[in-house]
A and B are shown apart, each in its own frame.
Chain A
């Protein structure tokens, strides 16, 4: 019974849910996870330190010949306007990452709050919120995206708005289900019996147990958002030229794919690396923190 649990936990080398050391130990055993973490660090570092890394001004036209092949001077060649592709790609990571983190950060925060309220509040409020979540989710997201961009114009803000609005219900539902399960657990009753208020219970005893799966969801959603953002740029619905952006580079390359394939390849590689990195990292986090979540998430 209980002793067995303790024994088993001890045998599994668990240190307690909070200890960072045990997390690192488990993480270091997961090879794909380590690879993912490295890729993510690489993508982040290159975006943050972009101004130090770039070899040419990414926006200036005709720093070199048009559509030049990769060379020592232009590591990944140049595009049709003679801009340095390498510099554009390094700088171009900033927007997808900004979009991903702003939109998912907003979704996480709002989804969490709404989920906690729905899961812990009165039944009627839960029902109302669920109805709203399901309405938003059932609305076709492409049409919604096109409508918003049509109204607000193509911009980073519109993309963030679209992504946040469509992912909040998903996160809120996950948070709500977790909260609801905890609501009837004995330790919550124990806290209530000591006189703890709802805010305290939610913040100290529910939130830390709910946030784990959500963080995992976020890290697994980052690649999808990057792909969506790149896709919108590719379709010309993203940021305006000449701002460097992975989707835009890919779009430029696509037009000249027959003669100068390296341009398209150079536009695709960072998207692939970032996507793989976040996916591996997300899966590793899931396996460590919540093996029960299963592979289907």
Chain B
């Protein structure tokens, strides 16, 4: 095992690379340090999941990549490389050009990305504006084919309808259709199934997986639902209170978690527990305030195995496997023991 202060250097071919990102939200009572030294890679044609409780900064990370941050957000360190180019050094016109062409996004509430007063048809044709070669007719045909593909019955006649004429599940399918119509290199999905019933959730997950394979795009899948992430993703990053505490392949994370937080999170998922029990496991304590984050480990107040060092020093990223790393002092102890 190698002690390594920086993010593990993986293949140089990663589609998206987030390096050492630090982000503050300015608020009347001070800066909220919402992302701290976040590093993450999304290799081409892979599905990377981000899991964590609400408030852990998953959406903020997704919005930073999309370039859709609110006005009070400020990135103070780090870089984001997309297809080899640093997004922060790019003129804003070039960034807009990437959005909706190479990068697209779907949201928890489909209504936020659909315009309620325009028909699905005009929205789906408009979204292809980067495409100068196809005629309007061809674009419409592509839109209908895509709606068919995502499982909208009778798309020929329904394409003229407005968003409110569809059910919640249908709207999310339409959003997926719109996001994938432009054949992006990377699709960012922020909790796309959170508002849906389990029956619809599994349908949407299957759909995303199938479409991802067909189109060959990469997906950054944000969710707090462990089951969905386990089923869909190839790689997983676990976030807690603004930090990526552990990342690795989906099997690394679900079968061999290294960080106490990951373990705790997995253990308290009621979906895991088959036998009837009156006391489900929980994570005692609250998520810490991000208003003045000190130097120690961010999880120490709730960690069952915290010790002195956790209060004094922020854990660096330790490599555990070829693609598996975590930020926890226990890993350096273990290293000593095994050495």
Enumerate chain A interface residues (CB-CB to B < 8 A): 1-4, 7-8, 10-13
Contact = CB atoms under 8 A, between A and B. Distances in A.
A70 to B, nearest CB: 46
12 contacts: A1-B54, A3-B54, A7-B287, A7-B290, A11-B25, A11-B29, A11-B30, A11-B32, A11-B289, A12-B28, A13-B28, A13-B29
B320 to A, nearest CB: 29
Contacts of A2: 54
A7 B27 contact: no
B29 A3 contact: no
B55 A4 contact: yes
A1 B291 CA distance: 18
A25 B32 CA distance: 20
Majority SS at the chain A contact face: helix
B109 interface: no
A13 B27 contact: yes
Given A2-B54, A3-B53, A11-B290, 6 more contacts: A3-B54, A7-B287, A11-B29, A11-B291, A12-B29, A13-B29
Interface string B279-295: 00000000101110000
A11 B291 CA distance: 7
B289 A3 contact: no
A3 B55 contact: yes
- Majority SS of interface residues in chain B? loop
Contacts of A1: 54
B223 to A, nearest CB: 12
Contacts of A4: 54-55
Interface residues of B, number: 13
B185 to A, nearest CB: 30
Contact of A11 (B27, B53, B287): B27
Interface in B294-325: none
B29 A7 contact: no
Contacts of B30: 11
Nearest to B29: A13
Contacts of B54: 1-4
Contacts of A12: 27-29
A31 to B, nearest CB: 16
A10 B28 CA distance: 10
B28 A7 contact: no
Given A12-B27, A12-B28, A7 B289 contact: yes
Interface in B252-302: 287, 289-291
Contacts of B291: 10-11
Interface string B24-60: 0101111010000000000000000000011100000
A70 B110 CA distance: 69
B112 to A, nearest CB: 15
Nearest to A29: B28
B287 A3 contact: yes
Nearest to B57: A4
A44 to B, nearest CB: 30
Most buried by B among A3, A11, A12, A13: A11
A10 B289 contact: yes
Nearest to A11: B27
B57 to A, nearest CB: 10
A3 B240 CA distance: 13
What 4 A-B pairs come out closest when comparing CB atoms? A13-B29, A11-B27, A1-B54, A13-B28
Contacts of A11: 25, 27, 29-30, 32, 289-291
A13 B27 CA distance: 8
A4 B59 CA distance: 11
A10 B55 CA distance: 13
A224 B287 CA distance: 50
**Candidate in A1, A2, A8 with the most chain B CB atoms within 10 angstroms:** A1
Nearest to A14: B28
